[in-house]
Amino acid sequence: MRNVTRKLALAVSGLALSAGIAGAQQVTYSTSGVFTGCANGSGTNTCVVNGPAGSATLTFLGQNSTSYTAPVTGASFGDFALSATVDGPYSFAGVGFTLTVNQTAPSNGSDNQGGSFVGSFSFANTGSTGGPVVLNFTDYMLSVGAVNYTLQQDFGGGINMNLPGVNENPASRSLRANISTVPEPSTYMLLGSGLAALGMIARRRRSNV
């Protein structure tokens, strides 16, 4: 009985270790983004808005394929670049933005290997007499298989970008996210079964004493 108990304990320990390893995986992804509702149209990574005397341009440069060992905080998700032909104010109100994540590892077989964050600019009257450009997403977490991507927000919520003076073009703003992974449910089921079996053996041993 002792040998059986030891073997079962070793098996449960192995499953617990596997669950821990499953929570620390290499994640490989890339990102891209497109704007809608801009003066130059929709569906590109560059958005132009017109002001009283000039125009402002907001560009998103997606993250090329990169890998991290999750969990990780502050993973790069791309960069915004904001510039203007003359000092503002300019309004980005009504402009939408879709950020797409393409995950290549870990693989989910035939399942969808990516997803999107959808957002819009809420308060965007900006420039020398205005406030920051603020991008708000409808949801800040995206799950792709066993991987969770959570966009980092500024204090008070949203993604804030300040329009620079003409002599300071462009102003850049990095988009970052926290990445975590979760073990497969089957791993937890096996671990639970092993713990239950150990509990039964312990009760039997106490009853036989």
Q: Mind listing the pLDDT tens digit for each residue in 175-205? A: 999 999 987 554 444 444 545 555 565 566 5
With a pLDDT cut of 70, the percent of the chain lying above it is 68
Element containing residue 106 per DSSP (H, E): none
State if pTM tops 0.85.
no
| pLDDT exceeds cutoff 50 at 58 | yes
102 with 164, same domain: the answer is: yes
2 with 75, same domain: the answer is: no
178 with 188, same domain: the answer is: no
Q: Are 147 and 177 within 8 A, CB to CB?
A: no
52 with 72, same domain: the answer is: yes
17 with 54, same domain: the answer is: no
Q: Which amino acid is at 63?
A: Q
Q: Are 70 and 24 within 8 A, CB to CB?
A: yes
**Where in the sequence is the domain holding 125, given as residue range(s)?**
25-182
pLDDT category at 73 given cuts 50, 70, 90 is very high
100 with 170, same domain: the answer is: yes
129 with 194, same domain: the answer is: no
Rounded Cα–Cα distance for residues 101 and 142 (Å): 9
Classified as helix, coil or strand, 44 is strand
90 with 4, same domain: the answer is: no
140 with 188, same domain: the answer is: no
Please count the structural domains in the chain: 2
86 with 149, same domain: the answer is: yes
pLDDT at 52: 84
Rounded Cα–Cα distance for residues 118 and 38 (Å): 16
